[in-house]
Each structure stands twice: as C-alpha cells, then as structure tokens.
Chain A
C-alpha cells in the first residue's frame, strides 16, 4: 500500500518570505514523488517530480522540493513567496514497481499575505 500525509491543512506566509509545505510518504520500494498545485475550480497543474538522482528537485514558478529518504519526506519550498502562489497544493506518490496511478495527500492550502 502507498500513502501520503500532508500534516498542515493551511500554511500562512507573508509575501517575500520563504515558504515550506510539508509532505511525508509511505511506499514499498522506491518512491516516485510529485507536487501539483490546484487553483479554484481548476484541474491540477504539475509543479515538479522526484524520480532518482539529486535530492533537490527544481520545478516550475521557482518551486523546489527536497527528497529525504531517511525521513520519508518530500517538502515543497520556495525562497520568496508571491501572493499569486496562494492555492491548494497536493503531494502524490507512486511505487516505482507497483501501481502507476498516483496516491494523493489531502492537500495544503497556501495563503500568501501581501
């Protein structure tokens, strides 16, 4: 079985400050990890993924995520938040040797205040 936990329902940060959205996962075998963002009444938009290699993954719109195998975490980060980053963020995992569909976390709402 595979699962994802996003422990924070909401994260609040001031514009210009760094942001972190937390994600931990559980899979058997090697994980493939993804971050998506969802704006109101829209589908999910791909941000970045970790497959293998460098633990720091860079993605769209200045976002990056750090894979930590020992802590089974894949936290999303951005050095300087923008008001336009306010949205719902989902972490997802897939077992490299198993199902190819994604298992999503429950989502974290990011609110960036001007």
Chain B
C-alpha cells in the first residue's frame, strides 16, 4: 500500500525558509511523480510544483522564484523548500502522487500544517 508522509517544522519565522520532506513507502519514488499542494482558508487548494525521477520539475509561476523541489532516491523521499516566507504561506502542505503525464492527483499524504509567525 502506497503511503506518503510529510514532515518538517510546524512553525517558521517570516523571511526564513520552509523545508518539508515527503517520505514515500510502498513504492519506489522513481516509479511515479510527486507534487506539492497547499491549502489555506484564503487561497483554497493551490498547486505548488511537481518533480519526477528524471528531476524534471514543473513550478507554479506564482511561486517559482521561491521554490526548490528535490528527490532523494536513496531515502525514497521528496523535498520542498520555500524561501522568504510570509504569513501568506501559512497553510496545510500536502505531498501528492500522480501516475504520469495528464494524470490526476491520486494519492495524498495526510498533510502538515505550517504556520509562519514570529
């Protein structure tokens, strides 16, 4: 059974970098594609970006200048870094799998609430 589990700090200070990890179990991280999606009361569900095992990356243009996505095959993990955070980046962050080109988001992690506050 495929499972995704987000981890990272629940509180980040303004202007600092938010760093999250998604641990993938039940399948090799090389076999599929991984997205980050966040959800806030203000903006609803917002797609952040996508990475695959060839390290082809897609970004949301609204966040592209602040995002780094990476994949660690040895640890079976995917990571997200978002720098220069503000209160507007407070959200639940989800790691989500898709199965390929033109595919829906079929398996979601449980989500991690990240609050940006001093």
* A, B: real partners: no
